[in-house]
């Protein structure tokens, strides 16, 4: 009886030791769970200057480079925000085209348009006059802009405008405004028709290369 009691106690102690080890291992594990979280950006700009471009990956959980790269100082719409199991933050630019958040900044690049480049040139001016000069430059460049889209390019551009806004320069949907439903930050406070045309042309050229390519992407994804 005494021997049996000792044996039972020994087994119980061993079981507790194993359980404690499992609990300790679980408590000491800090492995994060990969997950899509609430989106915190509508537009991001590539800022990785070292190589002048960054890689695009097929997903954020087990990323593999797709072979596509994005040039520094180019801006892109964001569809999703996520974290991988190591805690790294990622942005989906649409259709599972993921980039590391550490290589981009939230917002539209200031030099991506002619208007904003002009604003950069006056950085030494006093704040108030700089704002006035920037707006004047913006209105001047925008009012004289003429799109060079013609033929199939003009047709594709009109097709997108029709579906995005019904051809209305005053259309608005949250942060997206105008005929081409551009992010308000792209327009830099100038919502004139001419500026919308110019910025839309620049956006499509930078992202897709042509309006026909943008149309094809829209048809496949429902946005561009």
Among residues 91, 102, 85, 88, the alpha carbon closest in space to that of 40 is found at 91
d(CA 200, CA 193): 11
Each residue's pLDDT tens digit, 64-89? 998 888 888 877 778 889 999 999 99
Check residue 198 and give its pLDDT. Answer: 94
> What is the pLDDT, as a whole number, of residue 128?
28
Of 71, 87, 85, 42, residue with least CA distance to 185:
42
Q: How confident is the model at residue 59 (pLDDT cuts 50, 70, 90)?
A: very high
In contact, 136 and 121? CB cutoff 8 Å? no
pLDDT tens for 104-145 read: 998 865 544 332 322 222 222 222 223 333 333 334 344 578
**Mean pLDDT of the 86-108 span:** 89
Report the C-alpha gap between 164 and 136 in whole angstroms: 29
Kind and range of the H or E element at 95?
none
Mean pLDDT to the nearest integer, 45-51: 78
Q: Which comes out higher in pLDDT, residue 196 or 43? A: 196
* DSSP for 169-183, written as a single string: TT-EETTEETTTTEE
Is the alpha carbon torsion for 2, 8, 12, 18 positive or negative?
positive
| Highest-confidence segment of 41-45, 55-59, 94-98, 110-114 | 55-59
Residue 49: band (very low, low, confident or very high) from pLDDT cuts 50, 70, 90: low
User: pLDDT tens, 178-194?
Assistant: 999 998 888 988 999 99
Q: Which two tokens stand for residue 31?
A: 């492995």
- What's the confidence (pLDDT) of residue 71? 83
């Amino acid at each position: 009886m005494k021997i049996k009691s000792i044996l039972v106690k020994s087994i119980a102690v061993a079981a507790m030791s194993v359980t404690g080890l499992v609990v300790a291992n679980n408590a000491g594990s800090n492995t994060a769970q990969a997950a899509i979280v609430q989106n915190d950006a509508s537009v991001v700009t590539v800022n990785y200057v070292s190589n002048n471009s960054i890689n695009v990956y097929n997903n954020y959980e087990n990323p593999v480079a797709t072979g596509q790269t994005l040039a520094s100082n180019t801006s892109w719409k964001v569809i999703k925000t996520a974290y991988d199991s190591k805690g790294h933050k990622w942005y989906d630019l649409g259709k599972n085209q993921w980039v590391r958040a550490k290589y981009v900044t939230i917002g539209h690049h200031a030099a991506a348009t002619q208007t904003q480049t002009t604003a950069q040139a006056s950085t030494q001016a006093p704040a108030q006059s700089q704002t006035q000069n920037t707006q004047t430059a913006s209105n001047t460049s925008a009012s004289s802009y003429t799109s060079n889209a013609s033929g199939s390019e003009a047709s594709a551009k009109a097709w997108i405008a029709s579906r995005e806004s019904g051809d209305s320069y005053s259309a608005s949907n949250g942060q997206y405004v105008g005929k081409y439903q551009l992010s308000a930050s792209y327009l830099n406070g100038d919502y004139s028709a001419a500026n919308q045309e110019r910025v839309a042309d620049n956006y499509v050229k930078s992202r897709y290369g042509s309006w026909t390519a943008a149309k094809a992407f829209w048809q496949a994804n429902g946005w561009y």
